[in-house]
Structure formats: structure tokens, C-alpha cells
Amino acid sequence: MTSPTLHIKQEDVHLWAMDRHHWLLAALMGGIHSIFHVFMRLIPAFIPVLTGALGYPLWKLGMLVSAYFVGSSVGLLPMGELSDRYDRRITLSGALAIVGLGYLLFSVAPLVGTALPETAIAGLAFDGPFVVMATSMVISGFGTSAHVPVGVPLLTANATADDRGKLLGIWGGSSKIGDAVGPAAVGVLILVLGWQAILFSFGLLGLVCAAGLYVILGASGFETRPVGDQAERDDNAETWESLLADRRRYLYPMLVLVGYFAAYSIVVQGTITFVPAFITDVYGYSFSLGSISFGPESFADFALSVLLVGAAISRFVGGYLVDRYEHRLVLVATLIMAAAAMFVFSLASLGPVALIVVLIVFGAGLWGNSPARDSLVSDLGPDEREGRTFSYLWTASRVFGALSPTAIGFLAGSAGIRKGFTYLSIATLIAALFVALLFSNRIYRDNAIDPDVALDD
């Protein structure tokens, strides 16, 4: 059988050639994915500000980010079940409303938290406002958990095979636009508003967007209900048993992807959380535009936005590549590029321009693999279990990602923040090694290429 690493899946694929139906789908789902990611990246952008305003150490602020991803981890499995059983229009818009409510609670934490007593866990003291902040992050994280197990199946259910890669590229790239908008908005708004006012406004925005999403999905004509009726989804034993009979079709690649997600999520969450702190502490660059001066915290937030813009562009390009080349090849190539850029970022002393260039390459490599990854995951299981398949893997991602901010925060405080990013670059290479295992026919049978005939060993 021809080696899959150079397999071109279509002879003539025009860049971004899609019909009106698919462009509308891309705009709607890309927009909602951006909004979810704006909320996901707000607290890391506030870390330099909260350090001074509240006096919390880095490891404690890292715990707030960890709490967000604990909530997301808890929510993924039930969201996957809801996605495969009930109208995704209700689930997705309701989840976004929960995110907004969590940020409203965070914004008033210094006020309502004073009524709570100090809590001690494992010898560590946490005051009332911090407990309320952590609780609010768990709530928002729970809402955020819906965007992958609900959003991706909703997208693929309305996409054709020829355009799925491009649509997933737009979906993934839009998330990085949201990631970039969040820190950039914080960098600007913090010049004129306090952190509580900013987060309260974002909480209200979440509620408004949730209501708008519910109305727009209802009027769009897109299919938001899961495949089949309840009996078909519960009793689809034949398809499921055939997947389990050949472990290369589901079990083995799922286990390998759990390893990939474990390493990859540690890198992503550590990067998002501490890139602003790294740039502020190591470089301390500032700049001016006319009469307006931007301090090191604002420069760091803008630099994070540049990294995420590179990530967004790479996902758009990655979606095109997925419609032409083998998923695994795209995954490995982007991860190696990210690891190389991260080594430079962690070890070299860079000027402002060089720093921006490295961040662009870094972001492009680290996040450019998502269309290939999502296509690979979507191919693993039957349509009736697609939401649950995504939820299983993203649960692993969130569990390990939740550990990363606290671990890197402790490491930065003891060994230095440069050392922390050096370890993250090694973890990126480990993620690439897990993906490389999927090139073995003994581990992975590509159902999309050869659905009926087992690969030769």
C-alpha cells in the first residue's frame, strides 16, 4: 500500500473555494469559537495586573487559570453526552451564558469574598476573595467545556467531505483570533478602566452573545440536532463493535492521542498563562504611540496577541493542507517547528523585532496542527459518538492542562521562568513523538482512507 505520509487526498483543491452555505457556516461557527476563546484567555492577560493589585504570588494566580481548566475538565464528558443526544443549539448557547455568569462573579469577588473566612489547604492559606475567584473560574470553565464536543460535531454535521478541512481550519484559526483579541483588549482597556469593571463588562457581553447565538442558530437553517433518533444512538451496536474488534481503528489511536493531548495541553496552557509574565520579567519592553505610553505589561499582552495572530494564520493554512495532505504529517511538522521556536524563545536574548518574529513562528507551529488533529479525531468514531470521542480526548487535555499553570508557576519561582519554558519545549517534542506512533500500521488503521480493508502489517 502507498505510504500515507505523502498521500494527496484531492487532485485539484482550490484555496478557500467553498459555496455560500459553507461560508455562512464558517462565519457563524468561527465567530462563536472566537468568543469562547476571548473568555478563555482573559485571566492570563490580567496576571501582571492582578499581581500588583491583589499581591498574590504567581503560583496562586496560576491556580486561578488551573481552576478554569478544572471546571472545563469536569464539564467535557457531560457536554459530550448532551451533544450526542440533544439539540446543540440549546447546549452551546446555554454554555456561553454560564461562561458570562462566571466572569460576573469574578468581577465582584473582592466585595463578596470579604464575607468568607480564610481557608487553609495543605498548609496554604486562601482568603475569601481568592476562593470566590477560583469558584467563578470553575463555573466559567464548565461553560467553556461545550465549545469542542458540541461545536465541532455541529460544524462537521453541516460540512461536506471536500471542505471539511478548510472549515476546521477556519474554526481553529478563529479561536486564535479570539485568543489574540482578549489580551489586546485588556492591554487597551486597562489604560482607562479598572480590572473589575473590565471583567464585569465581559460577563455581560457573554450573556448577550449567548442570547444572540440561540436566535441566529434557530434562523440559520443549519442542522443542530444529533444524527439519528434516540434508539439509533443508543443501540448502534454493530458500528461500535466493529470499531472495538480491530483495536487499531479506535482503542490504540485513542490511547496514543491521550498521550499527545497530555503533553500538548501542558505546553499550550503553560505558554498562554506565562508568556506575558516571561516577557515582562525578562525584557520589560515598553513603547509609545504618539502621546500614549504603554508599559511593560501592555507590551507583553500585545506580544501575546502577536503570537496568537501567528497561530490563527497557521490554522487557516493548516485547514487547506489537511484537504490535501495526510493529517499525521501536518501534525508532526507543526509540532517540530513549535519546539524549535520555543527553544530559541527560552534560551536566547532577543531584541523587540526578533522577539516578535520568534513569537509568530512559535504560535504558528504550536497551534497550526489543530485542523489535522480535529480531522483525525473526527475520523476515529461513528457520527453518533463524535461528541463523546471529542469529550474523552479533551478531558485528558483539560486535566493535564490544569496542572500546567500551577507547575510552571512553582518552577518559575524556584528555577526561573526561562527554565520553565525550556521544559515546555521538551514537552512539545514529546507530543510530536506520540503523533509519530500513529504512522505504524500496528497502531493505527486509517478509516477515512481504507474503511473496509485492514492495512497490511
Q: Are 380 and 246 in contact (CB under 8 A)?
A: no
**Residue 377 pLDDT greater than 70, yes or no:** yes
Kindly tell me if the per-residue pLDDT of 16 is higher than 60: no
Pairing of strands 287-289, 292-294: antiparallel
**Which whole number is the average pLDDT over 5-23?**
55
Q: Regarding predicted confidence, which is higher, 54 or 93? A: 93
Q: Is the predicted pLDDT of residue 122 greater than 80, yes or no?
A: no
pLDDT at 2: 37
| Residue 451 located in a structural domain | no
The model's confidence at residue 246, banded by pLDDT at 50, 70 and 90, is low
| Closest among 115, 125, 179 to 147, alpha carbons compared | 179
Determine, yes or no, domain membership for 351. yes
Predicted confidence (pLDDT) at residue 452 exceeds the cutoff of 50 = no
Winning range, highest mean pLDDT, from 1-15, 89-103, 223-237, 301-315:
89-103
Question: Tell me, what CATH number does 50's domain have?
Answer: 1.20.1250.20
Task: Tell me whether residue 7 is in a domain.
Answer: no
Question: In Å, how far from its chain's centre is CA 375?
Answer: 15
Please indicate whether residue 415 or residue 149 has the higher confidence score (pLDDT).
149
pLDDT band with cut points at 50, 70 and 90 for residue 65: confident
Q: Of 49-58, 311-320, 435-444, which has the strongest mean pLDDT? A: 435-444
Residue 215 placed within a domain: yes
Residue 318 CA to residue 171 CA, distance in Å, equals: 11
Rg (CA), the chain: 22
pLDDT for 456 equals: 38
What sign has the CA pseudo-torsion 197, 288, 299, 169? positive
pLDDT over 80 at 378, yes or no: no
Average pLDDT over the chain reads 77
Mean pLDDT of 43-64: 77
Q: Which helix (H) or strand (E) holds 220?
A: helix 195-220
DSSP notation for 221-252: ----SPSS-HHHHH--HHHHHHHHHSTTTTHH
Inform me whether the pLDDT recorded for 99 exceeds 90.
yes
Grid cell at residue 179? 485568543
DSSP string covering 296-354: HHHHHHHHHHHHHHHHHHHHHHHHHHHTTS-HHHHHHHHHHHHHHHHHHHHHS---HHH
User: 22: which DSSP letter?
Assistant: H
d(CA 299, CA 417): 18
The pLDDT of 195-204, averaged and rounded, is 90
The pLDDT of residue 386 is above 50: yes
456 domain-assigned = no
Task: Give the pLDDT score at 4.
Answer: 41
CA distance 155 to 92: 12
Residue 13 lies in a domain: no
Residue 252 binned pLDDT confidence (cut-offs 50, 70, 90): confident
| Stretch 21-50: mean pLDDT | 83
CB 303 within 8 A of CB 355: yes
The answer to whether position 235 is within a domain reads no
Question: Residue 203 — pLDDT band, cuts 50, 70, 90?
Answer: very high
How do residues 257-306 score in pLDDT, each as one tens digit? 888 888 888 888 788 777 877 788 777 776 667 766 667 777 777 777 77
| pLDDT at residue 1 is higher than 60 | no
**What pLDDT score was predicted for residue 10?**
47
Q: Is the pLDDT of residue 410 over 80?
A: no
Could you tell me the pLDDT band of residue 248, with boundaries at 50, 70 and 90?
confident
The total domain count for the chain is 1
Tell me if 139 is assigned to some domain: yes
Give the residue with greater pLDDT, 311 vs 435. Answer: 435
Position with higher pLDDT, 399 vs 436: 436
User: Distance between CA atoms of 98 and 139, rounded to whole angstroms?
Assistant: 7
What local confidence, expressed as pLDDT, does residue 228 receive?
Answer: 56
How long a stretch of residues is the chain? 457
pLDDT band (50, 70, 90) for residue 98 = very high
Overall pTM surpassing 0.85 (yes/no): no
Residue 202: pLDDT band by 50, 70, 90 thresholds?
A: very high
Q: How far apart are CA 349 and CA 282, in angstroms?
A: 9
Q: Report pLDDT digits (tens) over 306-353.
A: 777 777 778 777 777 777 777 788 888 889 999 998 888 888 888 888
Domain region containing 303: 19-229+241-437
Best CA proximity match to 37, nearest among 137, 155, 182, 166: 182
Quick: pLDDT tens for 353-369: 888 888 888 888 888 87
Label residue 408 by pLDDT band (50, 70, 90).
low
pLDDT of the residue at 230: 46
Lowest mean pLDDT: which of 26-35, 59-68, 229-238, 437-446? 229-238
